[in-house]
Structure formats: structure tokens, C-alpha cells
Amino acid sequence: MKETFFRTLSWLHTWAGLLVCWVLLLIFFAGSLSYFRHEMSLWAEPELHRGAFQDYQVDQVANQLEKGQSYIETHSAPNTQRWLINFPTDRSPMLSFAWQLPPEKGQRRGKIEQHTALADGSGVITDVRDSRGGDFFYRLHFDLHYMSAITARYIVGVCTMLMLIALISGIVIHKRIFKDLFSFRQNKGARSWLDAHNVSSVIALPYHLMITYTGLITLMLMYIPWTVSTAYPEDNQAFLKELNPARQTEKASGIQAEQVRLSRLLPQVQAEWGDAPIKQVIVSYPKDQNSQVTFYQNTGKEVTDESTILVFNGVTGELKYASPHEVSATVATYDTMMSLHTARFAAPLLRILFFFCGLLGCAMVATGTLMWAIRLRQKQQKAIDKGEKASRGLRLVEGLNFMFILGLPLGAAAFFYANRLLPVDFATRSAWEVHSFFIALAAMGVWAFFGRSRRHWQLALMLIGVLYCALPILNAFTSPSHFIDNIRSQQWALVGFDIVALLLGSAMLFASTRLSAVVKTLQKPSRKNTATSEKVRRKQPDPSYANELASSSPLEEAKS
């Protein structure tokens, strides 16, 4: 019985993981990058890198509100739907004034026009290149691309569910989970890949479980809508309204009214919040009788996704609602899970650690798929030795590995290069930035047709490594401030971008040189023990070399 139980589970682990592994790799990769969504967006708009950075200043708020309101009133169209005034925060250290136009036909949301104030108050920056920045990666990890968001979310949901199954079955079949916690045996062929798979899974296991489970929860009402639709058969809006009364805004009445001065509301805000920083002020339906003003507090490190808000009547200035309202345990649980997944509360250090764990997730998926390819190849080794061609399945798996494991980092690099190199006045530039991501991914797929040997992995890794290492140089030439400037002006988001690019680039170059070291060792077996190879990371040497090192099939141990 026991034998069958473990066999069944390892069958489940293999297939649940492998069926969706490349999509999972894409989700993990894009999701990990989204931890730096705002930082990437900032990087993608170099026009803002000079003169706009400022810190939040309590004594300036009234002044800034007044100025923002006058600016928007004079510059926006009369049919504007919302006004937005964004105050500087740690991650987005700029004051900006924005307004949203009514949606055009066929679109759900209207376009937002955003102007950023210069820090010395001497004017605004209006010409910023059109780019999706970090939002692209954020959307990519649950909306994919080139398909409707709903279809994509169902695909992502299925993949996530399979991932959760793979994780749990993986824990059960990995019997030596604590015994082998620190074991990574290098240069042992398939054994090393298994070790790398185990290590990257186990040391970030709490993270993997958390991110997969909460990932499902974020869209749970879409995946399982029936509880809500049974209780609220007519109308989903009624459910949302009951869930959070503050989220509902009244419709515009169409009757003109005098808009309250925002700075006049400030004493009431301070009476409620003291000097707690304000993140954003939104006016919906300005100059309408049903106008409403919402103040959002910057909640910093609290583990919550629920915003702390104050809602005022936009005409009389009367306080209509103040959060937090009493929430039930269910809502509080849901909120905590949301915030764990999005990590909006995370300060820089924790954000870096989340990113690190996300990369370990990529490594987990990548090593899993590479092991699959090795196992397939081992099964066919005898036939291949006799001169037969590798089976179609094996070629497909190896090709897709090559395409996704190398293509995703290359795609991200292509996106950033496109952001800086496409002409600023190019009409569909933000769309072409996105296209270049997928073109790079597809290019790796085409490359895989022509060769997937160790030599090709080595070349591709070198190419990607060089591209990443050159990103700081690209930045220096295409933005007003380079690396040293940014350190001097303490713009850690931009400094961090360069550092991460350099680290990833060097890791890939390192992996590439290790590959050639391994090639040499293979030729001189006596020096086997002196060569080392970094296999813990996502950018990895070729599966087939590991195969050549593995005489027996230690992989079967795990399948016991």
C-alpha cells in the first residue's frame, strides 16, 4: 500500500508540475519582477529623473493641495471624471497632478493624464514617454498577453492549482526534507539537479506555499463565483457594496456645483489622522453635485491591503466616512492574504527578500523541467548512442526549456532596451516595448530549433549576461542621471535597478564560464573534482552535460 501511495504521489508531482511548468516559470518570473513594479516604472520614465524627486513634507501639504487643485482646474477638460493628486512616498518620491478623462468607446477606463511637479515648485514636467514600465510585468503575471484577461486568469488559475498540488505532493514524497536540508552535491549529474531542485524548493518553502495559495485566493471570487451569486442572485454590485460601503461612489448627477477647496478639508483630515502622511487625494466627479473627495493615508508597514481613507462630500466638505470600519474575521483574513501576496507593505529589505524567494521559485520550476529533460534523455540514451534521433517529445521539452529559461530574462532585457531606444514620439511605442519582450522570447524559441547543445546554452547565457551588465551603461547614456549621480542624490530605486541588473548579468556570465569549465572537465576526467558549477540559480548550464556526468540514475531515488 505504502509503495503505491508514494508512487502515485510522485506520479502526481511529476505531471502536475510538468504540464504547466513553462507557464509557471513565466508567472513566477513576471511576478518576482513585479515586486519592483514602481521602481521599474520610475526607471522607464527617465524624463522624471532630474528635478522631480522630493520627500513628503507635512508643512507643505496645504500649499501643494491648493496648487494641485488650481493646476488641474486650469489644465483639464471640463468633462474630466476624476482628479488625482499623488503625494511623494518612499517608492515614488514625486508630487504629481493627474486627471482621468471619460472612457472612450469600447474601453473600460478612461485615459489618465499625469503631470509631475518639479521639486523646487518652478513648474511641471508634462512630456513623459509613453511606457507601461513595471505595470507590464505585474499584468503579465496574471493577465498574460495577447488574449482576453478573463481567459488568461482562468489559465493562470489552473496552473496555480496544479502548482499547489505539485508543492504538497512534493513535500510528501521528499521524505528526507530535514535530513537533506543543507545537501547540495555538485558535479554529480542528475543528482545535483535534484539537489538544486530540493534546495530551491525547501529553503523558501513557506514562501512558495504562501504565494501559490494566496495567488489562488486573490481571484477566488472569479474561480468560485457561486457562493456570491447564490446569496446575491441579481446583482454583484450589491455584494460589493455590503462588503465595503466606502468603495461605492454615487453616480454623477449632471448638476453643476461649486467644488470645495481641498486645502480647506485638511484641518478635518489632521483632526482624524494627526500628522500621518497622506498618499493620495482623489476627487470623483469634480464640480458635480455628487462630487466626492477621498483622502488615502500612507499606511507604511502595516500588513494590510485595505486602504485607510476619509471620504468627504465634494461640495459641502462634510465628512461622510472614515475607515477603518469594523471588519469581520473573514474579511480581515482575506485582507491579510491579499497583502501577503502583493507585499505592498514591504519595506526595501523585505521586498528584496521576497524577490530573492521569487527567484528561488523560478529556480525550482526551471530545475524541475531540466530534470525532466535529463530523465527523458537517459531513457533514450542507448537508442541515441546507436545513432537514432531523439524522440519528438524530448526535442520539444528541451526546446521549450531553452526558449523559456533563457527567453524570459532576455525578453525582460529587450523590454528595457526598447524602452530607452525606441523614439520618444513613436506612436505605439508602449505597445512595441511589450512586443519586443515577446519577440525576444520567440527568438529564443527559433534558436532552439537550430541547436540546444551545451555550446548554445553557453553562448545564449553570455549574450544575456552582457545585455544585463550593459543596462547601467544604457541608463547612463539615455537618462539625465547615471549611477554615481543617483548615489549622490540618494535615489536608491534607480541605484538598485542598476545593481540588480549587474548582479543578474554577472550570475549569467558566471554560469556561462562554469559551463566551459565543465566542458573542460569532461575532457579531462581526472580533474573532475576541481571544477565547480553554480547550479542553484535559474540561469543554468545545459541538461545534457549533466547527463554525461551521470552514469547511473540517482533520480530514481527520489521516485522511490
Partner 1 sequence: MMPEFIPMLGILGLSYLSLALFALAKFGHFKDVFKRPPSQWQSRLLTLFAWLLLIISLSTCAHGQGWAYGSILFMGIISLAAMLVILTLSYSPRHLPIGIVTGSVLTGSLLLSGGI
Decide: is 334 part of the binding site for partner 1 (CB under 8 A).
no
Helix (H, G, I), strand (E, B) or coil at 116: strand
Q: Which stretch binds partner 1 (CB under 8 A): 67-75, 146-154, 183-191, 429-437?
A: 183-191
Decide: is 528 part of the binding site for partner 1 (CB under 8 A).
no
Q: How far is the CB of 187 from partner 1 (least distance, A)?
A: 10
Nearer to partner 1, 444 or 518 (CB): 518
- In angstroms, the CA 541 to CA 175 distance is 27
Nearer to partner 1, 390 or 517 (CB): 517
Q: How far is the CB of 199 from partner 1 (least distance, A)?
A: 6
Q: How far is the CB of 371 from partner 1 (least distance, A)?
A: 18
Exactly one of 19, 128, 177, 353 binds partner 1 (CB under 8 A); that residue is 353
Q: How far is the CB of 144 from partner 1 (least distance, A)?
A: 28
Exactly one of 105, 108, 251, 301 binds partner 1 (CB under 8 A); that residue is 301
Q: Is the Cα dihedral 389, 391, 397, 399 positive or negative?
A: positive
Exactly one of 223, 321, 492, 510 binds partner 1 (CB under 8 A); that residue is 492
Decide: is 532 part of the binding site for partner 1 (CB under 8 A).
yes
Task: Report residue 88: phi and psi, to 5°.
Answer: -65, 135
Burial of 335 (0-12, 13-18, 19+ CB in 10 A): middle
At position 12, the amino acid (one-letter code) is L
Nearer to partner 1, 185 or 389 (CB): 185
Nearer to partner 1, 225 or 348 (CB): 348
Q: Which residues contact 292 (CB under 8 A, 6 or more apart)?
A: 249, 250, 283, 284, 285, 311, 312, 313, 314, 320
Burial of 454 (0-12, 13-18, 19+ CB in 10 A): buried
Residue position matching grid coordinates 527578500? 353
Chain residues 535-554 in contact with partner 1, contact rule CB under 8 A: 536
Decide: is 432 part of the binding site for partner 1 (CB under 8 A).
no
Decide: is 327 part of the binding site for partner 1 (CB under 8 A).
no
Decide: is 362 part of the binding site for partner 1 (CB under 8 A).
no
Decide: is 206 part of the binding site for partner 1 (CB under 8 A).
yes
Nearer to partner 1, 361 or 472 (CB): 361
Q: Furthest-apart CA pair in the chain: how many Å?
A: 87
- In angstroms, the CA 172 to CA 192 distance is 20
Q: Which stretch binds partner 1 (CB under 8 A): 8-16, 238-246, 339-347, 470-478?
A: 339-347
Sheet holding 292-297, edge to edge: 124-125, 112-117, 96-100, 82-86, 278-284, 292-297, 309-313, 319-322
Grid cell of 217 as nine digits: 485566493
Decide: is 506 part of the binding site for partner 1 (CB under 8 A).
no
Q: What residues form DSSP beta bridges with 96?
A: 86, 116
Decide: is 503 part of the binding site for partner 1 (CB under 8 A).
no
Decide: is 485 part of the binding site for partner 1 (CB under 8 A).
no
- In angstroms, the CA 377 to CA 60 distance is 66
Decide: is 360 part of the binding site for partner 1 (CB under 8 A).
yes
- In angstroms, the CA 427 to CA 423 distance is 9
Decide: is 357 part of the binding site for partner 1 (CB under 8 A).
yes
Q: How many residues bind partner 1 (CB under 8 A)?
A: 31
Decide: is 56 part of the binding site for partner 1 (CB under 8 A).
no
Residue position matching grid coordinates 545564449? 460
Exactly one of 245, 348, 393, 451 binds partner 1 (CB under 8 A); that residue is 348
Nearer to partner 1, 335 or 548 (CB): 335
Local structure of residue 296 (DSSP, 8 states): E
- In angstroms, the CA 426 to CA 420 distance is 12
Decide: is 424 part of the binding site for partner 1 (CB under 8 A).
no
Decide: is 181 part of the binding site for partner 1 (CB under 8 A).
yes
Nearer to partner 1, 52 or 495 (CB): 495
Nearer to partner 1, 334 or 404 (CB): 334
- In angstroms, the CA 180 to CA 395 distance is 32
Exactly one of 62, 128, 203, 266 binds partner 1 (CB under 8 A); that residue is 203
Q: What residues form DSSP beta bridges with 205?
A: none
Decide: is 392 part of the binding site for partner 1 (CB under 8 A).
no
Q: How far is the CB of 299 from partner 1 (least distance, A)?
A: 12
Exactly one of 345, 438, 483, 510 binds partner 1 (CB under 8 A); that residue is 345
Q: What residues form DSSP beta bridges with 295?
A: 281, 310
Grid cell of 41 as nine digits: 516604472
Contact between 92 and 61 (Cβ < 8 Å): no
Nearer to partner 1, 303 or 424 (CB): 303
Cα three-residue angle 298-299-301, rounded to 5 degrees: 125
Q: What is the DSSP track for 433-481?
A: HHHHHHHHHHHHHHHHHH--SHHHHHHHHHHHHHHHHTHHHHHHHHSS-
Q: How far is the CB of 35 from partner 1 (least distance, A)?
A: 11
Decide: is 303 part of the binding site for partner 1 (CB under 8 A).
yes
Nearer to partner 1, 75 or 91 (CB): 91
- In angstroms, the CA 368 to CA 362 distance is 10
Residues that bind partner 1 (CB under 8 A): 90, 179, 181-186, 199, 203-204, 206-207, 301-303, 340, 345-350, 353-354, 356-357, 360, 492, 532, 536
